[in-house]
Structure 1
């Protein structure tokens, strides 16, 4: 049961004065919480934080007020000049002065009686708003505040600026937020006293009050102590819930998977190359995990072409030695089939049977695969989410490997847990994720990193080229193709769009076909599976020499003799994606080139991105840069894909607090795994506040 102390914050926003269903709908657009289907609650409003302030302390006098500045003026009201009768488009003006000059206060569609009451002739008033100079004469259109000079104390000197949406005025939002703050109960402290002192953190309620009632610009910056306090709370809630989920999954009776090494040795003998040092290291870590009775939860991070698939295959062989089955799940059908093409022949050399299962397998083929998984005659299966549908049963599933984890979420991880006796889990990603993000999205996992490229891989030369030089590029491609080279050409869109003047993959295919004829192939996400496979096969076989594609080929497509990749409108792609795409070439022993075609003029961020791509091929360096340029939300795809969308925290500004929160969470659960002690009870409130209710439910489920 949720503690009754929190009831005021879990009430719907419509419980506040003056908030009906229409306003509730507008508030839903600005609260940072991922609401899903539910309506916003009072507690969600606490985290609608100001991003800047309006400072009304600037009082320069009329003559010295700068164009566009927000100023506060003390004025004597001289006369009213109403709009001429029948000409509502002419504004109503009120003329006033101070010792430095005269100003016109301008109002459109205003009621005369209301203005005469607000600004009586002969009165002294304080007026605050944005200055405008029109034909050398000062004016202020619709001042933000007008108060009698005697009531100067009621004028807000510093006003917070909140995110808004059409139909929601700052004044109404401010009134609603104040009501939400008034409902904040007196919370017990859940932070460790020493940590709180070391970081100069205020209390939770003090932090909220300070952020919502700033006295200067520093009060709304990400670096101030109030913001950092709430960030730490959010990180701690996240790390606690991940650690609790991990403890729960670990409790689900893992079992040791050990073997005699004969199958692993056979596959190693069949490999045409030796493993790199970091592959050996990762494999040793995985084998040690498999041998333990607890379940493995490990993230294998390796840059494009670092050889993750081979490590996965050797882990699968170890599972087979322990007489269990292994699955490898990929996010797309193209990638699943490619993994299958790599794994099946090597598995066969060790006498192991491998099958493929995607949404495309039908009829007899599917029935046979399902029967083989159920009776155990199939050792390995590679596929898409189809592997975890209701109809699929395994005789003895020991290891589940997920490729490109960020395409799936924590929920799918739990769905897999339901298959088999809680299989060991290995998650692979070629998107190099900065350490800070690994902690937030995968805090419940141990991490192995592949940092070397396999022997014989040549560096990739990266060149930027403006679209105006397209003709030079075409000439260069002519000579490359006559020498037998293969080219990828990537476009951002499938078909032409009205909104964006970008080259679509279909238009580019048509224009290249005129020049290169039947040597050009096409692949995009809207094609049927069989068409995609045929186009990929033709490119692999060399029947086509240029493959025009969208980013379908971003992940894992393997054509070792493709040596050139052209990325059109490169300024439109994120760094991580550009790096992924570049990794499609340079997979063989020939020198490769990546050409980034851009349309000028470039913004600062796009310029920086393209220069980072020219400077380095190290995916981990690139991912740290990407984080600085884009923030965490986009780096792992969207918030919906199971990545953490933060309410308060900004990874790029607050990364230093994350490690502390992780250690704190682990220590808390070591001392008080059920959160029953005094601090534990307070931490339960924290979990509810930051929407981590599922973690509290795990406690109850034991």
Structure 2
């Protein structure tokens, strides 16, 4: 289902308002059947159609490689007809036309069925041996031979075929028409993302029909003239013609370059406006106070801050002391000490008379933050208790599942200002929560929240509070500039001393001895005093998706579900779907390798009390094995946890795998991560797991993730159910464009905040913001 904002955008009254020809419905431009077919591709307005750019360009003289075609793949290929034969069907009435097409080396069969030989005459006449054309359909197999059944096609003589019928050409052509035909034959052929409802050349015909009638007045120009001139970019209409109907390769390359700049510039303008609006609102300066809570905290730390922690801390200290709101992203490797850095910033605000709120995405993580902060503060966080230090503050927790009495106490402490630090989940966003002197908002794991959610918490303060966003998911610089472009970025790469590290091995699920050895290795760690996580993608076998605590980051290429043995030594056999906690738990209890070992569980359907008890039993060693979902992905800190088995590992993306692995090896005990998978060697999923096993560098994995996955996934579109407006811009390879656009957009917004001098850009910005309900970059 489409998001409401996108549905609104395609509403006829809305789409046409102020958008001219581009806002026209395709039903108004084409016949109902064509408009319906285009609608199945998500194209409903003229603008949608024109922004449906070709995936690639073909050369009429260059044939496709047929050997690479995969079964069930919807393909468009250019090939030459080798043979064509029409014969009666053997077992029933009717005729069959079998056409062999070739790329010069390999062949592919085209099959057409008809009621009689005459009904196939049109196709037989058009598909004569020697004819070259473009053919589209879904690859299937018949008796071991790959084929396209009733494919659509376009021969380069200009004829089209559609299954069992086609359009006929005819009539004499004049010299000018003949020359035009020769010119067209030499042009690149745009190949569009298509579907079974409509082939690529039909899309091309529709695009050309619209494009031929457009004028410059019909096409708004989002890019400022001086920017286009500086980068030698064509205007919007010229670029549309160049990308859809190029005369040569240079045309479509220049057009693509222009639209990459446009996408980057519009996006960076949205972010620049958001940042400028935030910075226009004054904040309360919260300078450091010598001899205060923060200094006392530093004095009692049992370890020395890393150089990175000190450097980032100095940056935060300086920005908190300014009357303009701090807006900063703190990213760092798993276990790099972001919490300590954030806590020092919160204490600086408390020293200055304010309050701080820490927003966490799950109750498990909120509880973990509460325990960590209280342990680090000791008497400094026990205000109101006999054991409190002289200048202590109070730390309280607010979650949705708290009892009424505990909730009333926490709300009262937050509202009265007695609590200097308030930790919570989405419950902090409730209208009943009052934090009157909120000076700093810390958002942990920002990719789990939207822009509106973090701003809703900031809005509780009478004066705009400072903002610190944290993420343990390493973000390449260019992604940070797009996903978090309204924030400045600080990075922690250095890990605290004493960490022993983690080794990772990919375990093929169809190798019984490897699987058996996995559980034996787990038992060895337990006998040596370690703790073991066994991670499953879902809670129960009846659930179609993952645990509700975190979105399932599949990133999979559709491999078969993992296979698990029911007993040690038994051959692995297919399971019905992904590994589930409720199935794996009893299976592990029956394994001889884990005899007499107490095994616990944790997942999103358990109450907060049950989760707390499960984690306490696990940390103490009462249940040294914990079967869990991704609820343990972030924030859980058990120093003795030394081994993790990830079942159906191909079901998770690289960033999520890295987060999970970060739960072990957090103390002096070396960690062992065993990623079990049924993904076949050579598949994208297996390649991703191989990369995961080869490095523990989260930033290197983030770059790999960006190469292996679609741009929309990286920017959060596939995870949130939205499509992305970044159609051509590639955040990994287009860093120079993003850099350039960011600087230019910020400069423009600084001198013209309302974009009054750039109506085309203002319209593009408004459409982007509206389309995703002011949260286009929300990474949920």
Whole-angstrom distance in 2 between the partners of 1:69 and 1:387: 55
Larger deviation, residues 5-14 vs 279-288: 5-14
Tell me the residue number matched to 2:238. 206
Map of 1:70 onto structure 2: 78
Cα distance between partner residues in 1 of 2:729 and 2:113: 42
Which of the residues 642, 650, 661 maps onto 1:571? 650
Structure 1 residue 452 and structure 2 residue 520: aligned?
Answer: no
Quick one: which of 517, 535, 542 aligns to 1:472? Answer: 517
Higher-helix-fraction structure: 1
Question: SS of 1:652's equivalent?
Answer: coil
Among 726, 733, 747, the residue aligned to 1:667: 747
Query: How far is the alpha carbon of 1:663 from its aligned partner?
Result: 0.8
Write the mapping of 1:592-603 to structure 2, written as runs, cut at 5 A. Answer: 592-599=671-678, 601-603=680-682
* 1:378 to 2:419 alignment: yes
CA distance in 1, matches of 2:466, 2:330: 13
Which of 383, 391, 395 is equivalent to 2:432? 391
Seen in structure 2, the aligned counterparts of structure 1 residues 538 and 25 have a Cα distance that, compared at 3 Å, is farther
Say whether the 8 Å CA contact 2:393–2:418 is kept in structure 1. Answer: no
Aligned partner of 1:619 in structure 2 is 698
CA RMSD for the aligned pairs?
4.0
Partner residue in 1 for 2:19: 6
Paired with 1:643 and 1:341, the residues of 2 have a C-alpha distance of 39
Q: Which residue of 1 aligns with 2:761?
A: 683
> Which of the residues 43, 46, 52 maps onto 1:48?
52
Distance in 1 (alpha carbons) for counterparts of 2:611 and 2:346: 28
What is the CA distance between 1:490 and its match in structure 2?
1.5
Using the TM superposition, give the Cα deviation of residue 487 of structure 1 relative to its aligned residue in structure 2, in angstroms. Answer: 0.9
Partner residue of 2:449? Answer: 408
1:196 shift after superposition: 3.8
Task: Call closer, same or farther: CA 1:389–1:12 in 2, change over 3 Å.
Answer: farther
Find the aligned partners of 1:513 and 1:287 in 2 and give their Cα distance: 51
Query: Which residue matches 1:513?
Result: 589
- Relative to structure 1, is the Cα distance of residues 92 and 300 closer, same or farther in structure 2, using a 3 angstrom cutoff? closer
Task: Quote the offset at 1:214 in angstroms.
Answer: 4.2
Contact 1:59 1:73 in 2 (8 A): no
- Secondary structure of the structure 1 residue equivalent to 2:733: helix
Q: Distance in 2 between matches of 1:2 and 1:247?
A: 29
Please, which moves more after superposition, 530-539 or 378-387?
530-539
Alignment match, 1:362: 403
Deviations 1:657-680 (A, max 9, x none): 111110111221233333233xx3
8 Å contact kept, 2:37–2:197: no
Equivalence for 1:437: 479
Between 257-266 and 461-470, the greater mean CA deviation after superposition: 461-470
Gaps of 5+ in 2: 1-13, 65-75, 101-108, 160-168, 383-388, 545-559, 562-574, 776-780
- The residue aligned with 1:100 is none
Corresponding residue to 2:603 among 487, 508, 524: 524
Alignment of 1:53-132 (within 5 A): 53-57=57-61, 70-71=78-79, 89-91=94-96, 107-109=112-114, 128-129=133-134
Structure 1 residues 523, 198: closer, same or farther in 2, change over 3 A? same
Query: Contact between 1:84 and 1:90, CA under 8 Å: does it hold in 2?
Result: yes
- Written as runs of structure 1 = structure 2, the 5 A alignment for 1:630-645 is 630-635=709-714, 637-639=716-718, 641=720, 645=725
Q: Count residues in correspondence.
A: 662
C-alpha distance in 2 between matches for 1:307 and 1:619: 15
SS of the equivalent of 2:369 reads: helix
Question: Any residues of structure 2 matched to 1:286-297 within 5 Å, and which?
Answer: 286-297=316-327
**Secondary structure at 1:522's aligned position in 2?**
strand
Report Cα offsets for 1:570-620 as digits up to 9, x if no partner. 333222122111111111122222222233532353444334333322211
Contact 1:236 1:665 in 2 (8 A): yes
Distance in 1 (alpha carbons) for counterparts of 2:637 and 2:129: 78
- Of the candidates 226, 234, 248, which is equivalent to residue 277 of structure 2? 248
2:371 is the counterpart of 1:341: yes
Shift of 1:27: 2.0
Q: CA deviation at 1:231?
A: 1.1
CA contact (8 A) 2:276 2:750 kept: no
TM-score (norm 2): 0.76
CA pair 240-253 structure 1, distance change in 2 beyond 3 A? same
> Shift of the alpha carbon at 1:690?
4.9
Partner in structure 2 of residue 35 of structure 1: none
What is the rounded CA distance, in whole Å, between the counterparts of 2:91 and 2:499 in structure 1?
80
Distance 1:683 1:480, change over 3 A: closer
Question: In the TM superposition, what are the counterparts of 1:136-151 in structure 2 within 5 Å?
Answer: 143-145=153-155, 146=159, 147-148=169-170
Does structure 2 retain, via aligned residues, the 8 Å contact 1:10–1:43? yes
**Residues of 2 paired with 1:48 and 1:217: CA distance?**
19
Whether the 8 Å contact between 1:490 and 1:565 is mirrored in structure 2 is yes
Cα 1:55–1:393 change in 2 (3 A) is: same
CA distance in 1, matches of 2:774, 2:762: 7
Q: CA deviation at 1:438?
A: 0.2
